[in-house]
Structure 1
Amino acid sequence: MSRSAPLLQVASAVLLLLVSSCAATDHIVGANKGWNPGLNYTLWANNHTFYVADLISFRYQKTQYNVFEVNQTGYDNCTTEGATGNWSSGKDFILLDKAKRYYFICANGGCFSGMKVSVLVHPLPPPPKSSMTDHTSAAAPPPIRILGVIFGALLSACFGMD
């Protein structure tokens, strides 16, 4: 094992932590109106762009409502048959961990009053090209150059730095 391997492992772990914290967005369903009957959640979802690693949050009265992740049939018919997840805390944070269409409903009858939302999750866009590669010394060992490129791209993506 080379001397730079432990440094590369630590830097990779730090990078993963930083990327997840700066790139992820928490989308609160219904914004300040929360997860309640009579709201147009299709309009709400169409005004947001969802990416892998984002969160979708549901805020509601836990004694009245809940959240189920269902397939398109469950969404269309307001049923929980084949549900892949359910939450009932009143403050549910759900990780959108795959690029796909997600379907959520309220199974306590609220679905029939509009409490259902479908969101399309996109893959993460590639990081912007960083100018850090231009400033990296050619004499630096390869792992150090790689870390410079990675951290440069991270700074640029998170903070708009070049």
Structure 2
Amino acid sequence: MSSSSATHLIIFLLCLLVAAVSATDHIVGANKGWNPGVNYTLWANNHTFYVGDLISFRYQKTQYNVFEVNQTGYDNCTTEGAVGNWSSGKDFIPLNKARRYYFICGNGGCFSGMKVLVVVHPLPSPSNAAVAADHSSTKSAAASVVGGAAMVMPLLVMASIWFGSGWI
């Protein structure tokens, strides 16, 4: 393989690695979980959400649930017109678009503060990728690395075939 091809391969693989391990799993309420009496506005304001991140809700599945609603549902604590609902007690919801997401508890918990608004930002440009890799203090490193490895390995094989190297 020529040095030019090797350089391109290295750059390609580094870009894949940064993309694969930079997604963050934001656990709503951190160690307090999805429960009444938690200031979820403060929690959300202490996080930066990017496209591709996850938001996770942890709660007693016999007591609470999660609904994704519009702003009216969020403001009025109603589930009418909800675009999604979850009730497993360990819900992982992908944040796939740059927009505002509104989540409430549909079992009446919304009236006790169980609602959260998150603003999801587009992915930063490649020049800012290093900043994005450390965009949350509660990053789930284990989940990111395991999920990233599962994503990267097939791509490494594909890149190896594409660039014609014999190292895999």
TM-score w.r.t. the length of structure 2 is 0.67
Find the counterpart in structure 2 of residue 35 from structure 1.
34
CA RMSD across the alignment: 2.5
Q: Bigger relative contact order, structure 1 or 2, given CA contacts below 8 A and separation 6+?
A: 2
Aligned to 1:117, what secondary structure does the other structure show?
strand
CA distance in 1, matches of 2:15, 2:39: 36
Matched residue count: 125
CA distance in 2, matches of 1:23, 1:156: 10
Find the counterpart in structure 2 of residue 111 from structure 1.
110
Compared CA separation, residues 84 and 37, structure 1 to 2 (3 A): same
Q: 2:69 aligned with 1:65, yes or no?
A: no
Aligned to 1:128, what secondary structure does the other structure show?
helix
Bigger Rg, which one: 1
Q: Which runs of structure 1 show a deviation greater than 4 angstroms over 4 or more consecutive aligned residues?
A: 14-17, 154-159
Which AA in structure 1 matches 2:87? S
1:106-126 C-alpha deviation (Å, 9 max, x unpaired): 000000000000000000001
Unaligned runs of 5+ in 2: 1-7, 135-168
Q: CA deviation at 1:70?
A: 0.2
1:21-100 counterparts in 2 under 5 A? 21-100=20-99
CA distance in 2, matches of 1:157, 1:41: 23
CA distance in 2, matches of 1:68, 1:62: 13
Compared CA separation, residues 15 and 90, structure 1 to 2 (3 A): farther
Q: CA deviation at 1:19?
A: 4.8
Compared CA separation, residues 89 and 41, structure 1 to 2 (3 A): same
Unaligned runs of 5+ in 1: 1-7, 130-153
